[in-house]
Structure 1
Amino acid sequence: MGETRRSTAAPAGLSSVLALLRDGVPRSRAELVELTGHARSTIAQRVDLLLKSGLLTHGGAASSTGGRPPETFAFAPASRIVLAADLGAAHLQMAVTDLGGTILAQRREVAAISDGPEAVLARVCALGIELLDEVSRPRRDLVGVGVGVPGPVEHETGRPRNPPIMPGWDGADIPGVLAASFRTPVLVDNDVNLMAAGEHWRLYADVDDLVFVKVATGIGAGIITAGRVYRGAQGAAGDLGHIAVPGGEPVACTCGNTGCLEALASRGAVRRAWLAAGRSAEEAGGVSALIATGDTLALDLTWRAGRDIGSVLAGTVSLLNPSVVVIGGSMAMDNPVLIEAISDVILTRSLALATRDLRIVGTGTGSQAAVLGASRMVADHVLSDEAIESLLA
């Protein structure tokens, strides 16, 4: 009997029903019963509650094999909104999205993370309010704020821990400051973790294992394994920029060591090499653009940076065996030479089995990767078993 049959599946709570529908495919009550293995009355109760909340909507009638076609239900991502913030070393990007990652309003501006938490978070609050006003949604529709920062984060508390390029931010209470302004849950993660999550969500949902590499002021990696972000024991997984480059020069790094990838191949490292070669500071900001003109020095420095990055990533590929390596960050935008140099070394030095079906590609989400990942982080949280009852209340 459908009312009493037992199952080893997880209880058919509100979040489990939503999880089945977040792929955008409408399903009937009968299909939800079949997929969860739970009672019709339980599924009916959950569907009715989610319809009242606005998180589900009527999806029309399904095809019928005879008789009245069954009604279907679909996830309604537009029913709630999320505020997402990407704090880079030299930029601030913010967006308002729905629960499906559709960007409703966004803004990007120059900002220095070195200005410290008080100044930067004040600007996050002000810009966030501007964007929320722009989308003209009731403030009660805002269900959470997601933030990415360019340094290690203690995931449980949302506080940065010993971030090398974020002076004054160690232990900063980012969730507390922002929650006071927005009166909603605030989640914080390393920006590259969010880039990996955003790229995975938008373009590679069918891939279980992916590495996203950000090449910009800093260099870091976000790791997706078994479809989830891997953060490590203290949230420091993926700190690629502070791995020593094999055979690299002993250049001092911001972390206190020498010969780190970030010290040899980041935007700052390329700029220093550019100036040391006698080229102008004005040109240094456009090294990537000069590649298209065939500038010999621009090509040489980019190729060298790519090979250094590839030499560190080669070990990462052999260790993690991802299906996809995505190269993003400001240095990689429209820069096929950098990606080619990275690919060349990975394919030469990594295990043959690990590279047999490996794809090494430039980012497809561009500068939006981190805000998409922040949006997904919040959506996953507020629609979880632990949080959804609070959301509906």
Structure 2
Amino acid sequence: MAFAEQNGAPRRKKRGNNFESMQQSNRALILQLMKAQGVSTRKGLAEQSGLQAATISIIVAELMERRLVEETGLVEGDCGRRLTGLRLRRDQYCTAAVRITPSYYAVGLYDINSACLAVEKTIWPFFDDPARSLEEVLAAVRRFLGLRPDLQPLGAAFALQGGFWLEDGRCALPGLAGEAGADLCAWFSRRLGLPVTADLAADYSAYCYTARPDYSYLKKEVFLYLLVSDTVDYSILDHGRIYRGALGLPGSLGQLTVFDEAGQPAPLETLCGNSVLLRRAAGLLKEYPDSALAARADGLRSRDLINAFYAGDPVAVQLYGGAAAALAQALAVLIRLLRPHRVLLSDEIPQNETFLDMVREDLRPLLEPRLLARVQLLAPSEERSTARDSTMIGGSMYLTDRSIRELRL
């Protein structure tokens, strides 16, 4: 998937073409602009596309006749003028998105603006029996698509972590025989009768952030996104251009060798991976019987551990202290190589300044002061939940954007 071409950072406004022969590409351009803005006006679309007002009127009328676009009422325009708003209709199309990790999978249904209509997370050891796992995921996707028979599905997007291999638009599952192991997208597409796309969970998540107005600054700088879950992944953005993960292998950053608290070398994901931390938390509860986590020892979840960290629980603070030190070592390497302006740490880790300060403090002895001063560490502005999972929302966004570009609406 060539994200770099599809979500690049234009140095100038997108320009349309007023010739009749270019009407289809103009229509795609207008749909893209409307999807990105949420609510648009005819005047604003003309200014941003470079198309004549008359051309905009013709395209908008056609899109309204096809029930792709609707008017929203009056919105504020220039100089206090109120103009008629336009937006994509939400009652025509949907997308399915799936996140697969070593310890769970999640399935969601999204409207054309990638707003979540329904979502479900299932704890599941995916790689214990991949063939059975794929059948379970397939059944879940079919069930979710059946929730809204009034909406036409544009396809399904798979955000992947763990033992997959992505190369030349093909997703393979090594060790699994047959079509599903050789080309996961083709297998799902044939069974669902829909287009299917797959990519690293981190790249889909980065795609989601670059499409958000409150993260528009990402198109003006070098940005590094770290996804910390069962595995550890990263995505690199250069002025809005997203580059593929190392070798197309999910979890590649998690295999980077760092040093634990005893000074012994270990893969990064064994020190900060979600499943590992949960196992260690269960063991530490014997030493900390007064921990608030003791009551949940039999069914401890990542959200419990994160909330305990926010509350200052000693078990959670100890575990995430080690995770912060390990992540700082990995970040020191990446910052020296990439010179990013910002680093976003996200997913199944604490997303507050306390945790970021721990990472910053561990970075100090590892980086030259000028490099440390250059980079800004961030956490998402909202707490993560399955309904707000940026990997799945990003997959839905990508699939919808591709459908618009290919004029499949």
TM-score (norm 1): 0.77
Q: How far did 1:348 drift? A: 5.2
| Aligned match of 1:262 | 269
2:153 counterpart of 1:142: yes
| Aligned match of 2:171 | 159
Distance 1:284 1:79, change over 3 A: closer
Counterparts of 1:27 and 1:292, CA distance in 2? 44
% identical aligned pairs:
20
Counterparts of 2:181 and 2:372, CA distance in 1? 38
1:1-393 counterparts in 2 under 5 A? 9=15, 11=17, 13-22=26-35, 23-28=37-42, 30-39=43-52, 42-60=55-73, 73-138=86-151, 141-151=152-162, 153-154=165-166, 156-160=168-172, 168=176, 171-202=181-212, 204-208=215-219, 209-232=222-245, 234-236=247-249, 239-245=252-258, 259-270=266-277, 279=286, 282=297, 285=300, 288=306, 291=309, 296=314, 298-330=316-348, 332-333=349-350, 338-346=355-363, 349-350=366-367, 352-353=370-371, 355-356=373-374, 358-362=376-380, 364=382, 366-367=384-385, 368-384=389-405, 387-388=406-407, 391-392=408-409
- Write the letter of the residue equivalent to 2:363: I
- Write the letter of the residue equivalent to 2:218: V
Counterparts of 2:77 and 2:268, CA distance in 1? 60
**Alignment partner of 2:248: what SS?**
coil
Q: Is the contact made by 1:326 and 1:363 (CA closer than 8 Å) also made in structure 2?
A: no
Counterparts of 2:209 and 2:46, CA distance in 1? 32
1:81-108 Cα offsets, whole Å, 9 max, x none, are 1111111111111111112121111111
Residue correspondences, number: 367
**Alignment partner of 1:327: what SS?**
strand
TM-score (norm 2): 0.74
- Write the letter of the residue equivalent to 1:382: S
Q: How far did 1:268 drift? A: 4.7
Q: Is the contact made by 1:222 and 1:238 (CA closer than 8 Å) also made in structure 2?
A: no
Distance 1:45 1:365, change over 3 A: farther
1:140-195 Cα offsets, whole Å, 9 max, x none, are x1111111110454264340466xxxx64995422222222332211101122222
1:60-86 Cα offsets, whole Å, 9 max, x none, are 4677999x9875533335531111111
Segments of structure 2 that go 5 or more residues without pairing to the other structure are: 1-12, 18-24, 288-293
Distance 1:348 1:17, change over 3 A: farther
| Aligned match of 1:255 | none
9-18 or 84-93, larger mean C-alpha shift: 9-18
